[in-house]
Amino acid sequence: MFATEAVTGGLPVHIAARILGHKTLTTTQAYLAVFQDDLVRTYRGFLDRRRADRPQDEYREPTEQEWHDFQQHFELRKVSLGTCGRPYGTPCKHEHACIRCPVLQMDPRQRPRLLEIIQNHRERIREARANGWLGEVEGLQVSFDAAMAKLNSLKRAPTDGRPQLVDLGMPVFTDHAPLLQPGSGEPGYRP
């Protein structure tokens, strides 16, 4: 009943699926007592309401330069170790020190290169310690730790190249609203 009421009330079905903890929309649709046409009509209504709340210039056609910049962003996301996952229109916060960046999506084929980087960092840390370059040791150690984290993430990644489902667990809701007395509007009652 919750799923049907929520979706017919305007909640997009993919959000209802997340709230219910379903991994696929097919599971959620089994709980909906609505026809496919109703589902489409409800979702289009949601989009129309959302667009009405947003500035109109967000829905204009992009200029040739804007479209080129958008496409170029995705070209610049290709880096030697994989793909940079930073969102469109954002600069690189790590000044292209990709090994330190948490949004780097490692290409499993680059594992040998990553192992070379890790070995190189070990040798450079050893040299910096021997020479007393403590600032250098600290910076290299940060990069080394990040490289090891990337290596560990590759070990956990599926080897067949297919995307893997992630179980997010059951959602937890906390009730922060005041409790109301029946008919009085005063705190203390929970229906």
- Tens place of pLDDT per residue across the chain (191 aa): 888 888 777 788 888 888 888 888 778 877 777 667 776 777 788 888 888 888 877 777 888 998 888 888 878 778 888 888 888 777 777 676 788 888 888 889 999 999 999 999 999 999 999 999 999 999 999 999 999 999 988 887 666 656 666 566 677 776 655 555 555 555 554 44
Whether residue 85 is contained in a domain is answered as yes
What's the token pair of residue 98?
């990709």
Total domain count for the chain?
A: 2
In whole angstroms, how far apart are CA 174 and each of 79, 171, 177, 181?
Answer: 42, 10, 9, 20
Whether residue 165 is contained in a domain is answered as no
According to DSSP, residue 165 is labeled -
- pTM across the whole model: 0.50
8 A C-beta contact, residue 59 and residue 52: no
Whether residue 71 is contained in a domain is answered as no
8 A C-beta contact, residue 78 and residue 107: no
Whether residue 112 is contained in a domain is answered as yes
- Domain with 9 in it: 2-57
pLDDT at 182: 53
Whether residue 139 is contained in a domain is answered as yes
What contacts 24+ positions apart, CB below 8 Å, involve 16-25? 18/171, 19/171, 21/168, 21/169, 21/170, 21/171, 23/165, 23/167
Whether residue 30 is contained in a domain is answered as yes
Q: How far apart are CA 101 and CA 95, in angstroms?
A: 9
